[in-house]
A and B are shown apart, each in its own frame.
Chain A
Amino acid sequence: MSEIIRLQTTIDKEEYQKYQISREKLLSMYRKMLLIRKFEEKIEELYLVKGVLMGPAHLYNGMEAISVGISEGLIDGDLVISNHRGHGHALSLGIDPYRVMSEMFGNSEGIEKGLAGSMHVSIEPSKGALYSSAIVGSQVPIAVGAAYSLKYYGKHNLVVVFFGDGAVTTGSFLEGLAMGSFLKVPLFLVCEDNHYAEYTDINYTVGQSKISKIISSFGIPTVEVDGNDPLAVLKAFKMYEVEVRNWNGPVAIHAYTYRFGGHSVTDSANYRSKEEVESWKQRDPILRFKERLLSEGIASEEELNKVNTEIENYINEISEKAAAVKPLDFNEVLKIAGDP
């Protein structure tokens, strides 16, 4: 078995220089997390209050720190493979929020032109978002292949694959671990452990503490980290980044987090106790990060409030704009499908 490291620390103020963390970078991370939060809150409103959106939507609020932390470590040419809970991944990678919102409305300006919907908004190869799968676990072998291609081309880029705690019991996931470790591909396996596999507590079927053991038993070093702290996630990534880029094999990050809402937007999540939800809301990644920025004197309350208002206005603007756009002509759909 490979090592399991329990990362108890984050990137402290004293380490900012070492990790090249500037004030701008901290503010941009805050802005990104808030963008995801406000985006997801707007989606919730459009489903539950206004009733204008349809189909499934798996929201990322509460989990923003993971993809924001990871995306800070990526360089040009790195690739990300996402899953059904992918709005946050897409926005972290800089995919145009208006086009993600348009995909939610199913209009022709959607990032997948309204053909794929909420679970596939993170497919935009020009932004490094190579693929997104809505079949739990199945993206892991695909990520192994994408990482193999980078090594094949002789590039020192890497692939990040996101999956939830529910994926670790799938055959695809386990086969992917076997193949990835055999081929020594440049891959970060990022487990966004939000405690629940759909409606079932992962501790009932597997045990959260077993996830790292399963992964590391394939010879894959695994870092357990506070998934509600973007700098801790980034620190975990940095611990192994060079080894991964140099083809020493995959590394996993097991990030403990919690989704604020249900499995999907229409799930009231009554299988969780109020106390449990409340205790995780105390650890809200955005509030914690805000407190940090204030206490370290990175920004003032006033500045951060301004960011808040800007993002709220922006989200309102793009959702109104997206609501007015028509869907693709159906003949165009047939053309996309049939094009050789």
Chain B
Amino acid sequence: MVMMNIAQAINRALDEEMERDPNIFLIGEDIGKHGGVHGITKGLYEKYGSKRVIDAPISEIAIVGTAIGAAMNGLRPVAEIMYMDFLNLVMEQLVNHAAQAKFMSAGKLKVPLVVMTQTSLGRQHGPQHSQFFLSQLVNTPGLNVALSSTPKTAYGLMKQALRENNPTIYISSAWEYFRFKEDVPENRDFVIPFGKAEVVKEGNDITIISYSRTVYVSLIAAEKLKSEGINAEVIDMRTLSPIDLETPTNSLKKTLNGIVVSDEHENASVSSFIAQKLNERLFDKLNKPVTTLNPPFTFTPSSPQLEKAYMIDENKIIAKVKEVLNKNA
């Protein structure tokens, strides 16, 4: 095991896979000579050269389009989209081409592509640089959607993404990049299979279902709840497409209470989809319907104080858990 943060974990996964597979190349803005605006690709340009680490012009459509065309002809590109907000620019390429090529060609084409991006929610980047949206990605057949929550998941999910035959949107949270370290397996073939959620903390009183940044926040909340005699189980979904509803279903059969915590807006979100499916499955078994905790239905303010008020933190999770369990502070 090696202790590392998420930024180091992604970098290590990319480096090892590029060493293993000469068909992997990276393309994105400032990812080469400067190692990326968050240092995620540091050292890779020096090691693999400009052929495999491309400092692209500011042309998001062409970055992803180029990656798709190369993937169709057998390469394994990683296209970096610097902020998740910029994914809005490339939805056409992702939905009409990356996701549909296999279908339209009756299975003749494969698009083994990774689109790597991050949300900067929590970093005072304001409305156009802090978004976290998943519904439109998860609503598209043919796209894998993977979300890192800790250094270990960041590493294992990227490893799997680079060995997949279908396109993967890989989303991390820059707020988490340098925040904490975790033991990551030394085994270079360690992968986290897609479509398998993980119970990251066991408990009996309530199930907190989450993904991305809010898994980490949920774990802090669960720790604090313990001192108040509430033992929460925390589940990291890890991928939302494909989605594993078995793991949260089994957990809820035990805890009988559950919430889904996510940085998405609630309206038509993946979090409400998960809650709905679980409620359908366990309608007559739960103490209360599974509910969701999301930020309000507006954009992220840039002011540090206002952003803090907007965002989900451990206190909001604790309050929601107590509300569900009828344990008012």
Contact, CB under 8 Å: A149 / B73: yes
Chain A residues lying within 8 Å of B164, measured Cβ to Cβ, are 340
Contact, CB under 8 Å: B93 / A138: yes
Interface: B134 (CB within 8 A): no
What sequence of 0s and 1s flags, for each residue 164-195 of chain A, a beta carbon within 8 Å of any chain B beta carbon? 00000001100110110011000000000000
5 closest pairs, A vs B, by CB? A141-B65, A145-B69, A175-B62, A145-B66, A179-B62
Interface: A207 (CB within 8 A): no
Could you tell me the distance between the alpha carbons of A146 and B92 in the complex, rounded to whole angstroms?
Answer: 18
Chain A residues lying within 8 Å of B72, measured Cβ to Cβ, are 130-131, 142, 145-146
Contact, CB under 8 Å: A123 / B109: yes
Chain B residues lying within 8 Å of A123, measured Cβ to Cβ, are 104-105, 108-109
Stretch at the interface among B52-60, B119-127, B288-296: B52-60
B61, B74, B165: most-surrounded residue (chain A CB, <10 A): B61
Interface: A120 (CB within 8 A): yes
Stretch at the interface among A110-118, A223-231, A252-260, A264-272: A110-118
Contact, CB under 8 Å: B68 / A142: yes
**A145-B69, A152-B70, A340-B165 are known contacts. Are A116 and B106 too (CB-CB below 8 A)?**
yes
Contact, CB under 8 Å: A149 / B75: yes
Contact, CB under 8 Å: B65 / A176: yes
A129-169 interface with B by 8 A CB criterion: 130-131, 133, 135, 138, 140-150, 152
Chain B residues lying within 8 Å of A175, measured Cβ to Cβ, are 59-62, 65
Q: What is the size, in residues, of chain A's interface with B at 8 Å between Cβ atoms?
A: 39
Interface: A75 (CB within 8 A): no
Q: List 28 A-B contacts (CB under 8 A).
A: A115-B103, A116-B103, A120-B105, A123-B108, A123-B109, A125-B109, A130-B73, A133-B96, A133-B97, A138-B92, A138-B93, A141-B62, A141-B69, A141-B93, A142-B69, A143-B69, A145-B67, A145-B77, A146-B70, A148-B66, A149-B69, A152-B25, A179-B57, A179-B59, A179-B62, A179-B63, A182-B57, A337-B141
Interface: A14 (CB within 8 A): no
A70-84 interface with B by 8 A CB criterion: 79, 81
Q: What is the size, in residues, of chain B's interface with A at 8 Å between Cβ atoms?
A: 41
CB distance from B196 to the nearest CB of A (A): 14
Nearest residue in B to A133 (C-beta to C-beta)? B97
Interface: B257 (CB within 8 A): no
What sequence of 0s and 1s flags, for each residue 90-112 of chain B, a beta carbon within 8 Å of any chain A beta carbon? 00110011000111111111000
CB distance from B96 to the nearest CB of A (A): 5
Contact, CB under 8 Å: B108 / A178: no
Interface: A336 (CB within 8 A): yes
Contact, CB under 8 Å: A149 / B74: yes
B64, B65, B96, B97: most-surrounded residue (chain A CB, <10 A): B65
What sequence of 0s and 1s flags, for each residue 100-112 of chain A, a beta carbon within 8 Å of any chain B beta carbon? 0000000000001
Secondary structure call for the A interface: helix
Interface: A124 (CB within 8 A): yes
Could you tell me the distance between the alpha carbons of A115 and B142 in the complex, rounded to whole angstroms?
Answer: 15
Could you tell me the distance between the alpha carbons of A176 and B102 in the complex, rounded to whole angstroms?
Answer: 22
Interface: A339 (CB within 8 A): yes
Could you tell me the distance between the alpha carbons of A147 and B66 in the complex, rounded to whole angstroms?
Answer: 9
Chain B residues lying within 8 Å of A135, measured Cβ to Cβ, are 92, 96-97
Could you tell me the distance between the alpha carbons of A124 and B72 in the complex, rounded to whole angstroms?
Answer: 12
User: Residue B70 contacts which of A140, A149, A172, A340 (CB distance < 8 angstroms)?
Assistant: A149
Chain B residues lying within 8 Å of A150, measured Cβ to Cβ, are 73
What sequence of 0s and 1s flags, for each residue 225-265 of chain B, a beta carbon within 8 Å of any chain A beta carbon? 00000000000000000000000000000000000000000
**A115-B103, A124-B108, A152-B70 are known contacts. Are A142 and B57 too (CB-CB below 8 A)?**
no
B65, B101, B106: most-surrounded residue (chain A CB, <10 A): B106
Chain B residues lying within 8 Å of A178, measured Cβ to Cβ, are 57, 59, 62
Contact, CB under 8 Å: A145 / B104: no
Contact, CB under 8 Å: B73 / A146: yes
CB distance from A337 to the nearest CB of B (A): 5
Could you tell me the distance between the alpha carbons of A112 and B70 in the complex, rounded to whole angstroms?
Answer: 21
Contact, CB under 8 Å: B75 / A152: yes
Could you tell me the distance between the alpha carbons of A337 and B25 in the complex, rounded to whole angstroms?
Answer: 26
Contact, CB under 8 Å: B54 / A142: no
Nearest residue in A to B101 (C-beta to C-beta)? A131
Chain A residues lying within 8 Å of B141, measured Cβ to Cβ, are 337
Could you tell me the distance between the alpha carbons of A152 and B25 in the complex, rounded to whole angstroms?
Answer: 10
**A149-B74, A152-B70 are known contacts. Are A112 and B65 too (CB-CB below 8 A)?**
no
